[in-house]
Amino acid sequence: MNNQYQLEKLEILAEIEVVNPYTMEVEDVDLVVIEDAGAILLDALTRITKFETLDLGVIRAIVRRARAHAIKDIAGCLMEHIAFFAPAVNDIALYLDSITDGDFVSSFAAQLQSLCDHPASNIRAVRLWLEWYFSRHEELLNFPRIRAFVFSSKRLRPQARAAITMNNQAWIKDRKNQLLHYAFWDRRSILLAAQILSKDEREKWLGQIIRGESLGPMDKWMAKWVLNGAPDEFPIADGLPF
């Protein structure tokens, strides 16, 4: 039985061109896109759902190739079998994030919303990655079920990201005056969301934090970074607290 499983695994990997014939190891190489690439990947994905256990090498190979070439064909199957694919949820979330646009949301609205109530969403890693994914897309947050899912999170980070995505200033205004009452990661999430405040309010509040003595170096650096427009790059010599 095990030999049959290994043979089918290698057959699947060979079909999607990610197996090294010399080592039999999965390789992270580009898939040459052919006309029926989506159908090939979907067939491979469907076949591995019949395995008793999930092979992470195989599922990651399939999902990463679909992500690299924006192939949407496997999205429905991934969501339908999210519990089985849970160990690879990080790759799945990154894949869904990369292909999400208005058309995708319209086509998969029901399945996307059903993820909020799926038993797999009670798995900590699945919940974390779903929150990350949902919080980044306004089209998804427009669905009440998804919005409630994100804003009911026990963590403030996805809530802060969703507030930024939706330009929900009320979220940060409700929390900024209680900043010292939060744990450090939650404080930084609130500071991150300060970027959506009006310029005057943002400069006044963050300036007080930077000049004050109540918060530590990391929180002050975070405030300074947001005050500078939350740039992707920040000078290393500019007051990094580590």
Q: What is the pLDDT of residue 51?
A: 84
Question: Could you give phi then psi for residue 21, rounded to 5 degrees?
Answer: -65, -15
Retrieve residue 41's tokens. Answer: 């990947």
Q: Distance between CA atoms of 19 and 70, rounded to whole angstroms?
A: 21
Label residues 125-153 b or e (16+ Cβ within 10 Å = b): ebbbbbbbbbbbbebbbebeebbebbbeb
What's the per-residue H, E or C state across the chain?
CHHHHHHHHHHHHHHCCCECCCCCCECCCCCCCCCCHHHHHHHHHHHHCCCCCCCHHHHHHHHHHHHHCCCCCCHHHHHHCCCCCHHHHHHHHHHHHHHCCHHHHHHCHHHHHHHHHCHHHHCHHHHHHHHHHHHCCHHHHCCHHHHHHHHCCCCHHHHHHHHHHHCCHHHHHCCHHHHHHCCHHHHHHHHHHHHHCCHHHHHHHHHHHHHCCCCCHHHHHHHHHHHCCCCCCCCCCCCCCC
Is residue 98 a contact partner of residue 68, using CB atoms and an 8 Å limit?
no
Is residue 137 a contact partner of residue 158, using CB atoms and an 8 Å limit?
no
Task: Write the CA distances from 83 to 45, 65, 130, 146, 164, integer angstroms.
Answer: 14, 21, 13, 18, 30
Q: What is the pLDDT of residue 57?
A: 87
Q: What is the pLDDT of residue 186?
A: 95
Q: What is the pLDDT of residue 238?
A: 56
pLDDT in single tens digits along all 242 residues of the chain: 455 556 566 666 666 664 333 333 445 555 455 668 889 899 989 999 988 889 898 899 899 989 988 999 999 999 999 999 999 999 999 999 999 999 999 999 999 999 999 999 999 999 999 999 999 999 999 999 999 999 999 999 999 999 999 999 999 999 999 999 999 999 999 999 999 999 999 999 999 999 999 999 999 999 999 999 888 775 555 555 55
